[in-house]
């Protein structure tokens, strides 16, 4: 490479590293949610598309100057909205190195190292989550895509069992499948079903209990034309469906069981908490996010399936310019053809933490939640969930009091969590999923909530 080109990369990466470090170092001094003035200033990034270019270092320094103050401080450990997590040091570092590698993880022809790292990470993950070792693991953009892939495989498999090859004939004339969901199923799961041609009226919705677990006794008859979607970790309560009892009925009946375990499935990586997701390994497919509770950078989920051939039959992409191999190739288990090597950051995080470290991360977040729930009850709040994992769902007084409290906490800039609806009332939800949240952050969070009452 030309020395001038090398110098450009070197200057841009050095500047980015310097600014990224400065960003992390000053996180504690800033509001978790960006202030209005910073969002206003960030508008300067816009205007007309520039006609002429700007030197790379200048691009980075402008991005830092105007963009950094306008970010949500996910990495601070003080953000408890959605289930966001942060990114571990090794995963951020790996992301920088992997950007410089610029690998395209289509197949071992496009990047042998990307495939190798993803294959290593896959077997570590199956072990960590105690899932069947022959399962396929696709590194997706997140759980939305993972749900889509798993349900596409389920559709393929269930029709194949009925003697119908839907990849060939399509589903238009085929006998409809029975799709069974909990009323608490995540909205993105419904989106996946829509994309796959399962309309809302075709879906059988099963009521859930007080904590949001699917009501096992209200399940319709399950048979070999059924796809049943269960959940590990309700977004509000953190509750788990009863996998043990349900798979015992569903599997012998020939029903495909899919588990949406975006964050909750990680409980299986903890020695103390794995009992909560007991029996989940008896499902057929699982969707889980690395970018939530494993604390890798964004754009990373896993589509795991116990019968890899079902995924491959829908996702395969053979082209004459890609040599066929016996080894499974990423392109045949995912929606994308070209994509970045997401598994690199997963490998880095798993190497950094080890199985003990992942277990500790999960348990630490759950302990934060338990401690917060106890403190909230003492302060007169109603805690609405049984707080078995990382989610705390609570309210105070009426809807207006609850909304006002959340607003005051958000305005403090010290912490951020949001509201939700639970059984017809406004509640707030504090989600602990960041590697960086410390015991003293939790002490300060409780003090902040107390002063906002």
Ligand X SMILES: *Cc1c(COP(=O)(O)O)cnc(C)c1O
**Cβ at position 391, least distance to ligand X in Å:** 10
| SS3 assignment, position 215 | coil
Residue nearest to ligand X (CB): 142
In this chain, which of 188, 255, 285, 390 binds ligand X, going by CB under 6 A?
188
Q: Is 307 in the site for ligand X (CB under 6 A)?
A: no
**Cβ at position 291, least distance to ligand X in Å:** 6
Residue 175 has a CB neighbour count (10 Å cut-off) of 10
**Residues 35-74 contacting ligand X, CB under 6 A:** none
Number of residues near ligand X (by CB under 6 A) = 13
What whole-number distance in Å separates Cα of residue 241 and Cα of residue 245?
A: 9
**Cβ at position 293, least distance to ligand X in Å:** 10
Q: Is 144 in the site for ligand X (CB under 6 A)?
A: yes
**Residues 321-380 contacting ligand X, CB under 6 A:** none
Nearest CA among 130, 353, 401, 396 for reference residue 243: 130
β-bridge pairing 418-422 and 425-431: antiparallel
Between 229 and 449, whose beta carbon lies closer to ligand X? 229
Q: Is 157 in the site for ligand X (CB under 6 A)?
A: no
Between 186 and 268, whose beta carbon lies closer to ligand X? 186
**Cβ at position 105, least distance to ligand X in Å:** 18
| DSSP track, 150-205 | HHHHHHHHHHHHTT--HHHH-STTSPPPEEEEETT--HHHHHHHHHTT--GGGEEE
Between 140 and 359, whose beta carbon lies closer to ligand X? 140
In this chain, which of 34, 85, 142, 297 binds ligand X, going by CB under 6 A?
142
Q: Where are the beta strands (DSSP E) in 244-356?
A: 256-260, 285-289, 301-305
Q: Is 262 in the site for ligand X (CB under 6 A)?
A: yes
* Segment near ligand X (CB under 6 A); pick from 52-60, 136-144, 341-349, 377-385: 136-144
Q: Is 395 in the site for ligand X (CB under 6 A)?
A: no
In this chain, which of 143, 192, 385, 390 binds ligand X, going by CB under 6 A?
143
Between 81 and 142, whose beta carbon lies closer to ligand X? 142
Between 346 and 405, whose beta carbon lies closer to ligand X? 346
Please enumerate in sequence order all residues whose Cβ is within 8 A of that of 436, keeping only pairs 6 or more positions apart, or say none.
75, 76, 77, 86
| DSSP track, 218-266 | G-----TTEEEEEEBS-TTT--B--HHHHHHHHTTTT-EEEEE-TTGGG
Between 196 and 396, whose beta carbon lies closer to ligand X? 196
In this chain, which of 241, 289, 306, 312 binds ligand X, going by CB under 6 A?
289
Q: Is 186 in the site for ligand X (CB under 6 A)?
A: yes
Q: Which structure tokens are listed for 183?
A: 């009323």
Please enumerate in sequence order all residues whose Cβ is within 8 A of that of 80, keeping only pairs 6 or more positions apart, or say none.
415, 416, 417, 429, 430, 431, 432, 445
Q: Is 83 in the site for ligand X (CB under 6 A)?
A: yes
Nearest CA among 251, 237, 244 for reference residue 184: 237
Q: Is 238 in the site for ligand X (CB under 6 A)?
A: no
Helix axes 112-128, 343-378, angle to 10 degrees: 40
Q: Is 263 in the site for ligand X (CB under 6 A)?
A: yes
Cβ proximity of 81 and 431 under 8 Å: yes
Footprint of ligand X (CB under 6 A): 83, 142-144, 186, 188, 233, 235, 260, 262-263, 289, 301
């Amino acid at each position: 490479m030309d020395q001038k080109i090398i110098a450009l990369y070197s200057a841009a990466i050095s500047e980015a590293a310097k600014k990224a470090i400065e960003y992390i170092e000053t996180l504690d001094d800033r509001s978790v949610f960006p202030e209005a003035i910073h969002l206003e200033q960030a508008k300067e990034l816009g205007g007309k598309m520039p006609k002429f270019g700007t030197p790379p270092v200048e691009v980075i320094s402008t991005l830092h100057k105007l963009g950094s103050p306008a970010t949500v401080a996910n990495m601070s450990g003080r953000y408890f909205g959605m289930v966001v997590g942060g990114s571990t040091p090794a995963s951020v570092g790996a992301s920088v190195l992997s950007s410089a590698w610029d690998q395209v993880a289509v197949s071992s022809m496009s990047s042998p190292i990307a495939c190798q790292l993803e294959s290593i990470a896959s077997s570590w993950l199956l072990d960590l989550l105690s899932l069947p070792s022959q399962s396929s693991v696709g590194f997706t953009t997140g759980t939305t895509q993972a749900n889509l892939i798993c349900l596409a495989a389920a559709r393929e498999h269930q029709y194949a069992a009925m003697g119908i090859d839907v990849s060939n004939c399509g589903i238009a004339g085929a006998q409809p499948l029975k799709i069974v969901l909990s009323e608490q199923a995540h909205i993105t799961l419904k989106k996946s079903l829509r994309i796959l041609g399962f309309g809302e009226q075709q879906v059988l919705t099963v009521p859930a209990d007080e904590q949001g677990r699917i009501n096992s006794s209200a399940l319709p008859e399950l048979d070999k034309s059924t796809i049943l979607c269960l959940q590990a970790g309700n977004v509000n309560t953190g509750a788990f469906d009863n996998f043990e009892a349900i798979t015992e009925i569903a599997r012998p009946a020939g029903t495909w069981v899919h588990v949406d375990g975006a964050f909750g499935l990680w409980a299986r990586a903890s020695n103390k908490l794995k009992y909560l997701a007991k029996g989940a390994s008896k499902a057929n497919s699982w969707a889980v996010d690395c970018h939530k509770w494993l604390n890798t950078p964004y754009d990373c989920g896993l589509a795991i399936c116990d019968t890899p051939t079902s995924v491959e039959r829908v996702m395969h992409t053979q082209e004459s310019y890609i040599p066929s191999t016996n080894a499974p190739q990423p392109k045949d288990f995912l929606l994308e053809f070209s994509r970045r090597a997401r598994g690199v950051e997963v490998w880095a995080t798993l190497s950094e933490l080890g199985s003990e470290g992942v277990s500790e991360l999960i348990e630490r977040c759950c302990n934060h939640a338990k401690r917060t729930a106890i403190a909230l009850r003492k302060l007169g709040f109603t805690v609405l969930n049984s707080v078995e994992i990382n989610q705390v769902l609570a309210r105070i007084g009426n809807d207006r009091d609850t909304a006002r409290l959340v607003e005051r906490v958000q305005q403090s800039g010290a912490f951020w969590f949001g509201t939700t609806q639970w059984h017809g009332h406004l509640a707030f939800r504090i989600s602990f999923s960041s590697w960086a949240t410390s015991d003293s952050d939790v002490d300060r969070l409780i003090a902040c909530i107390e002063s906002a009452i």
